[in-house]
Amino acid sequence: MRGSDTMSESGAVLPWQVIRQDDGGNRYRVGRYATQAEAQKVADGLDDRHHHQVYRVERVSQGAGP
């Protein structure tokens, strides 16, 4: 199992991520967060400021790579 994929360098578990998707379909990870609520708050704040990108909250799967 690759549990370290969902951990920060300090060892904190960060299973939620905010993804930015642009008009071309390109996806970029904005950040990783401990809770879904924290990630959603960040995504909502970014959505309010940027009108050409979509910000999504996703749970990181245990086996996912960076």
Per-residue confidence (pLDDT) for residue 19, from 0 to 100: 97
49 backbone dihedrals φ, ψ, rounded to 5°: -100, -25
User: What's at 58, amino acid-wise?
Assistant: E
One pLDDT digit (tens) per residue for the chain, 66 residues: 344 456 667 778 899 999 999 889 999 999 999 999 999 999 999 987 766 789 999 999 865 555
Say what the pLDDT of residue 63 is.
Answer: 55
pLDDT of residue 12: 80
Strands in the chain per DSSP E: 16-21, 27-33, 54-59
The reported pLDDT for the residue numbered 2 is 41
Per-domain boundaries in the chain: 14-57
Question: Rounded to an integer, what distance in angstroms lies between the CA atom of residue 64 and that of residue 66?
Answer: 7
Instruction: Take residue 11 and report the two structure tokens written for it.
Output: 């060892």
Q: Are 62 and 54 in contact (CB under 8 A)?
A: no
pLDDT at residue 50, rounded to an integer:
64
